[in-house]
Chain A
């Protein structure tokens, strides 16, 4: 019982701290007394950290007095998966969310402690406390991670099979949540600015760094999620336009629009109200995403078990959006910028196009995701909205975005002379055209691929040009190369390069992937898309965690891979297929153990009755350039980090 009460007290301390903190902030704002906001935040963090500590202790020591532990852990669960077990199920995932949120709140309040009396900071603190209170109160009530097991449980069920066979379980959720949680800060400041009516201060620049940081976490988190799905789900794909995946994509789309249009606000004071709207929308979409993932309203392979949280999360969503929109209605018109965009070929003009594309796409993805619910409500029937729809809509959008990426780094603010633009573009587009010619001559025929490569190379060229220009001018001012590399412009261009690499990876792998199911007897070989696949026998593997039947597959006579069928020990021993992937920069060979012949029913594999015993059916998928996706994602992360780090010599000024 001790663990339960210890864990719960952490939650109560935290929720009390946040509630009292919010109340005090509002009181301070009326009476102008000293705000001790950061101490309340610290208390909140201490409370959540205590609960996390208790949960981790219970998981690592396999203490089954907690129901959560007995459902997500077993005595033989390895250390890594015990730790990650905390976010493998609903209640624990909220604990992780609360931990990251409290840490962010403490960070923000300590960072701005000298301006704690500033009304914007005060109101933002109040909003942050309310958000913190919401998530901690969830754990105090409907999503209690510390429920006590009445009976004495001797062995736990262990984590879900798909959550304990790949180390990325330790990376994707924390990064993703760090991204989601991070957008509470621009949201809080946006509400604060609307309430106080003070938008034209330094806050847009300050917030831009927070937003870039959170965006970086979110992007890398999503890419790591895709990589993880790729490695374990067994179909060789990485994105299924699944409701939970879309739920993470929606805030990312508005966040990307936001970090671009905030640059315009910083430079020219435009789009003030629009940026406030985007900040509110992004945070609201993270709450909506949480709703989709945890309410059970939409079916998904990635969803947590459905719960009573649905209506509560919806209530918070309405509160968030309602407050934001009401404030916008009240204050918005008074805060609009007096100036406008002068020319479509200016950087501001292209950023407007960028925003329209991202927000438009977000609307379409949102509709596509909830459409089955709409259809069922109106018609009573079931309908699926899957990849064919989303991919068809995403294609022209991606083309348009690549065009923008090729043009925007080359145009000036306010207006651009078309001759000058052509002069800057000339070299790049000639190179791109030449590349396309070479591709045509070497047999590439698909128009999608040709267009994509043309635009990708053009976009990369523009990014390099701006990168070189920025570094050279910093050099002339005496900065070292490494110092010049830091900063929003260079960081942004590195991000664009990463995106271009990802785009090439996506287009090439989706257009030229070859799938085949090959039947092989022992020592037999075959070729799939030029890769030699040899079956070298079975292997039974058994340890405390699992029993698996491995297939020894040799790829191209030197890489040994073991696709398997794995049964995880535990009360509810789940059997999953474990793919094996032979990667190199040029292609991945993705192998799955599909079926076994005869009546030798190897643990869990499907039996193909018409095959001789000892033969196997191996699923082979050859995907060219798919590692470029993951490499590109990491480069995007690097670019965000570079963008976030302040340059030693000069802050970004606001020339108007």
Chain B
């Protein structure tokens, strides 16, 4: 046994390393938005109201009774460009009584936000100006894109950091609605 120490330990190491490598190779990359622990979880969602990019008056409280996807975005943020089509697709899929999507522009000029919104064919309203960043502050948003899922009773149930996808949003909303 002593004579073949190297042989047996090499074989054992080989088995371990191959198992380890296969494990790592099969991990999926982090492409979805990360679910973040927010101090708002379980608490009533702070007020969100203002005039949208298309000129209409928007108020979060008017969505009570629906699940709301609240998305903070800016025209200068690359992941926002990535998720913009996904959010519109999601809004379209939920158009018959499902979840509602509401956007808030983060630290941006109205003209850039408007052109961004037109370019990506946004199918949901976004509040154009967040004075003093007070809405973003009340939600603890430090950088876009950040998305909050608010349940039917107006309580925050999830915070997602980074670009989200239709699949991820649908999964969370289904879990919240059931």
Contacts and interface: CB of A to CB of B under 8 A. Distances in A.
B10 A297 contact: no
Interface string A591-615: 0000000010100101101000000
B14 A314 contact: no
A606 B76 CA distance: 17
B6 to A, nearest CB: 3
Contact of B30 (A306, A314, A332): A306
B14 A333 contact: no
B132 A607 contact: yes
B34 interface: yes
Main secondary structure of the interface of B (DSSP, over half): helix
B55 interface: no
Interface of B: 3-7, 10-11, 13-14, 17-18, 20-21, 23-25, 27-31, 34-35, 76-78, 107, 131-134, 137, 142
A572 B78 contact: yes
Contacts of A537: none
18 contacts: A296-B29, A297-B27, A299-B30, A306-B31, A310-B29, A311-B25, A314-B25, A315-B25, A318-B18, A318-B21, A328-B10, A373-B23, A373-B27, A377-B27, A599-B131, A601-B133, A606-B137, A609-B132
Contact of B18 (A298, A322, A572): A322
Q: Which bucket holds chain A's interface residue count?
A: 35 or more
B98 to A, nearest CB: 26
Contacts of B3: 333
A601 B109 CA distance: 13
Nearest to B3: A333
Given A296-B30, A329-B7, 17 more contacts: A273-B6, A295-B29, A297-B24, A310-B25, A314-B24, A318-B18, A322-B18, A328-B10, A329-B14, A333-B4, A333-B5, A370-B24, A374-B23, A377-B23, A601-B132, A607-B137, A609-B134
Contacts of A377: 23, 27
Interface in A303-351: 306, 310-311, 314-315, 317-318, 321-322, 325-326, 328-329, 332-333, 336
A187 interface: no
Nearest to A303: B30
A317 B21 contact: yes
B17 A573 contact: no
A609 B14 contact: no
B12 to A, nearest CB: 9
A241 interface: no
A373 B131 CA distance: 41
B137 A325 contact: no
A291 interface: yes
Nearest to B80: A572
Nearest to B5: A333
Main secondary structure of the interface of A (DSSP, over half): helix
B21 A325 contact: no
A606 B136 CA distance: 10
A382 interface: yes
A604 B142 CA distance: 10
Contacts of A297: 24, 27-30
A38 to B, nearest CB: 33
B47 to A, nearest CB: 15
A333 B27 contact: no
Interface in A22-59: none
A471 to B, nearest CB: 40
A322 B27 CA distance: 21
A329 B24 contact: no
Per CB-CB distance, the 9 closest pairs between chain A and chain B, nearest first, are: A332-B6, A296-B29, A329-B10, A314-B25, A306-B29, A325-B14, A328-B10, A297-B27, A325-B10
B156 to A, nearest CB: 18
A374 B3 CA distance: 35
A315 B26 CA distance: 12
Contacts of A599: 131-132
A534 B18 CA distance: 59
Nearest to A317: B21
